[in-house]
Amino acid sequence: MAAPPGRARRRWAAWAFLAPVTVYLVVFYAYPLYRNLDLSLRDYTVRSFVEGNAPFAGLDHYRGVVRDPSFGPALWHTTVFTAVSIAFQFAIGLGLAVFFRRHFPLSRTLRALFLVPWLLPLIVSASTWSWMLNSESGVVNSVLQRLGGSPINWLTSPRWALASVTIANIWIGIPFNLVLLHSGLEGIPASIEEAAALDGAGPWQRFWRVTFPMLRPVSAITLLLGLIYTLKVFDIVWIMTRGGPADSSSTLATWSYRLGFGNMLPAFSPGAAVGNLLIVMALMFGLIYIRVQRRQDAP
C-alpha cells in the first residue's frame, strides 16, 4: 500500500490545474486591459510611444474626449444604433422563434436559412449591403424607382446614413436572437401551456401570461449579450459609411478606431480613452444584469 499523497502535493496539483486558465487570463485579458488603461492615462505621441517615456496625463485625455465636438454625436449615434438595433432584433427574433416552435415541414431548413447572416463574414455582408444601398447602382434604389419612388442616398446623406447601417445591423443580429430565444422556448415544458389552454387561456394570453414570463431569464441574457455586442459594432459601420458623411453615422467604436488608426498620425491616447469608455458602458450593463438576476433568484 502506498502512502496517501500529502496535502502540499495536492495543493500543487490544484495550482497546476489552475495555471493554464490564470496564464491565459493574464496574457490575453489583464495585460491588454492594463495596456489600454496605460495608453489612455499617459500622453502618448508617436515619439513617446517609440521611446516609452510618455508623461503621465491623468484624466486629461478623458476630459479632452468628452469635450470634443465629435463626442456628443458619437454617443448619441451609439445610443440610437444600439437601442433601435436591439429592439428590432429582439422583436423579430422572438416572432420567428415562436413561429418556428411549431414543427411544420421544412421548418428546420427554413430555420437554417435564417442563420445565413450569422455565418457570413462581416466584411462580406457589409460590402453587400453597401453595394445594395449604393445611390447610383444599388438594387434598392433601382427597385424604388421601378415602383415610382425617388431614389434615396442611403449611405451618402446625413439623414439616412445612420438608419442604413442600423438596418444592416438588425439583419445581422436576427439569427443570434432567433437561436437563443428558440432554445429558450424549447426549454419550457409543453404541459404548462396545455394546462393554461385547459384553463381557458387563448393563444394571445398563453403567450403573454405564460410563455413570455417563463422566457424572461433567456430574454435577459439575449438582450445583455446583444447590447454588449451592438455597443462595440465597428466593421459594419466602417465598411458601409466610414462613420460618414462627415461623422453623421460615427459611433464611439468607429471614432476610437479613427483616432487610433484612421489617420496617418495616430492619436493612441484619446483613442484608448474612447475605447475604455465603451468598456465601462458594457460593464455597467453587465452589472445591471447580475443585479437583476440576483433579485430574480432570491426567494
Partner 1 sequence: MTHVFAQRIIMFSAITAVAGPIGCSSSKDKANGSATSYAIWDPYPQFDASSGWVQLVNKCGTAAGVTIKRTAFDTSDLTNKALLAAQQHNSPDVLIVDNPVVSTLADGGVLATTDDTKIDVSAVQPNLLAAGQLGGKTYGIPIGANTLALYYNKAVLQAAGVDAASIKDWAALTGALAKITATGKKGITFSAIGTEEGSFQFLPWFWGAGAQLTALDSPQASSALSLWVDWVKSGYAPNSVLNNTQTTSWQEFATGQYGFAENGTWQLGNAKKTGFEYGIIAIPGMAGGTAPAPTGGELVTVPVQQATERYATSVKLVGCLTSTENLYTTDTTLSYVAPTSAVQAKQVAATPELTVWVSAVQAAKGRTSDNLGTKYPKISQPLWTAMQTALSGSKSPGEALAVAQATAAQATK
Provide the binding-site residues for partner 1, judged by CB under 8 A: 16-17, 19-20, 23-24, 27, 45-47, 49-52, 130, 134-137, 153, 155-158, 241-248, 261-266
Distance (Å) of CA 96 to CA 27, 112, 124, 150, 186: 41, 12, 24, 32, 13
Rounded to whole angstroms, how far apart are CA atoms 140 and 129? 10
Please state, in angstroms and rounded to a whole number, the distance separating the CA atoms of residues 167 and 155.
12
Q: In whole angstroms, how close is the CB of 73 to partner 1 at the nearest point?
A: 12
CA distance 24 to 17: 12
**In this structure, which amino acid lies at residue 158?**
P
Query: What are the C-alpha distances in Å from 34 to residues 39, 227, 270, 282?
Result: 9, 24, 15, 17
State the nearest-atom distance from the C-beta of 181 to partner 1, in Å: 32
CA-based angle 116:122:127, to the nearest 5? 100
